[in-house]
């Protein structure tokens, strides 16, 4: 009998939340044969990552995954409608009547609170912890992604590394892909950088450093990202297809691409500036130098989370640590030309660290496989 799974997602960080949930849902279906129903409140953001999504449909099937438009907390549910595994993403509140129906099931479903990724040590003590419901005979389990064998690991499809190796083995594939997005031969010949960041990133001063530097740089920015800085550089609207060259910098605005194509963009670039969680993990799997822009929290609590990752990943990589801290506003008097030169000079050490990091983290298994194995142990 096919196992059923319900995944509830509210889109807070525009693309990060649905990006993670969509990857998880696809992998659960494709690699584990699970019947997945993805409940999501923002179909418009979902459609930007997956054009197959119909924003007007209440119920649809996309790439084998049932997608339901989650409008509100109302509705009546029977035990038969409840899945075998229920995942609330980032502690969203499930519909109360759905939870009541869960309590009537025999056996009761496995219930997960799927948490955010962090390198902080405290998650090792919280991963797999239980949380009994205060009124109903239900128990929730916390599931944390992470970077050690005491966490759930990272999202990674079984074929990902083979696809990356095949792509990188043939330089024409990267050229053809970038040309399909509008890049010219001159843009391809330059150092290629992708930028995906939050609005408060210091993009304008970095553009100035690149423009006045000695290295020809092509910067690829998705439409809607760093709009103010990009428009300032372009001297016009930052729409897909817009491009301008000033000094040694060319900035090209790209359309949003589907997740498999975003991986290709990361593989095709020499340096990747990424944000949030989903693109951060994909940058780690790309094996290229990357700079992480972390989601902001009150009282700069995100800086602690940022340092925890750098202390784990960037051991001996002083330049990438310095650049990342400045990019996240830890150092406000940043010398961007010097930071960029340091990052580029450190490229060989970063490449070696990427290989070692990949070997280290993959030893703990992939997140989806670990989650399924844990769920099966609870049934």
Residues with a known catalytic role: 17, 277
The CA distance from 299 to 276, in Å, is 18
The CA distance from 80 to 103, in Å, is 12
3-class DSSP state of 127: coil
CB 18 within 8 A of CB 48: no
Please report how the helices 203-211 and 227-234 are oriented relative to each other, as an axis angle in degrees rounded to 10. 30
> Which tokens in the block code for residue 88?
């609330």
The CA distance from 379 to 375, in Å, is 7
The CA distance from 60 to 39, in Å, is 11
> Which tokens in the block code for residue 189?
């010949």
Beta strands in the chain (DSSP E): 4-9, 35-40, 59-62, 65-69, 85-89, 110-114, 130-132, 139-143, 191-195, 217-222, 243-246, 249-254, 271-275, 290-293
Q: Which of 222, 220, 246, 218 is nearest to 232 (CA)?
A: 246
Q: Which of 108, 116, 65, 59 is nearest to 84 (CA)?
A: 108
Name the pairing type of β-strands 271-275 and 191-195: parallel
Judge residue 241's burial from the number of C-beta atoms within 10 Å of its C-beta, 0-12 exposed, 13-18 middle, 19 or more buried. Answer: exposed
3-class DSSP state of 275: strand
């Amino acid at each position: 009998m096919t196992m059923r799974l319900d995944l509830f997602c509210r889109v807070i960080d525009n693309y990060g939340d649905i990006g993670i949930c969509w990857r998880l849902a696809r992998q659960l279906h494709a690699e584990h044969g699970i019947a997945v129903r993805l409940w999501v409140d923002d179909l418009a953001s979902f459609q930007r990552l997956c054009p197959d999504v119909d924003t007007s449909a209440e119920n649809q099937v996309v790439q084998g995954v049932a997608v339901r438009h989650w409008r509100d907390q109302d509705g009546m549910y029977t035990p038969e409608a409840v899945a075998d595994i229920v995942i609330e993403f980032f502690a969203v509140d499930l519909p109360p009547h759905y939870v009541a129906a869960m309590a009537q099931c025999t056996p009761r479903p496995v219930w997960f609170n799927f948490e955010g990724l962090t390198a902080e040590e405290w998650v090792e003590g919280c991963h797999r912890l239980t949380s009994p419901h205060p009124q109903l005979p239900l128990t929730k389990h916390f599931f944390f992604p992470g970077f050690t064998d005491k966490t759930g690991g990272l999202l990674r499809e079984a074929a990902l590394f083979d696809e990356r190796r095949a792509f990188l083995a043939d330089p024409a594939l990267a050229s053809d892909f970038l040309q399909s997005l509008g890049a010219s031969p001159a843009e391809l010949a330059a150092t290629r950088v992708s930028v995906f960041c939050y609005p408060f990133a210091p993009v304008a001063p970095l553009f100035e450093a690149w423009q006045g530097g000695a290295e020809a740089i092509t910067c690829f920015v998705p439409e809607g990202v760093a709009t103010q800085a990009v428009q300032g550089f372009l001297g016009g609207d930052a729409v897909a297809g817009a491009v301008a060259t000033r000094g040694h910098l060319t900035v090209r605005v790209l359309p949003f691409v589907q997740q498999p194509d975003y991986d290709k963009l990361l593989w095709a670039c020499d340096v990747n500036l990424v944000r949030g969680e989903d693109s951060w993990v994909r940058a780690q799997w790309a094996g290229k130098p990357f700079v992480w822009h972390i989601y902001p929290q009150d009282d700069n609590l995100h800086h602690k989370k940022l340092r925890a990752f750098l202390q784990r990943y960037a051991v001996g990589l002083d330049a990438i640590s310095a650049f990342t801290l400045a990019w996240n506003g830890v150092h406000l008097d940043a010398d961007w030309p010097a930071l960029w030169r340091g990052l580029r000079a450190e490229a060989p050490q970063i490449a070696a660290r990427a290989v070692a990091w990949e070997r280290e983290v993959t030893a703990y298994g992939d997140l989806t496989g670990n989650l399924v194995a844990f769920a099966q142990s609870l049934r």
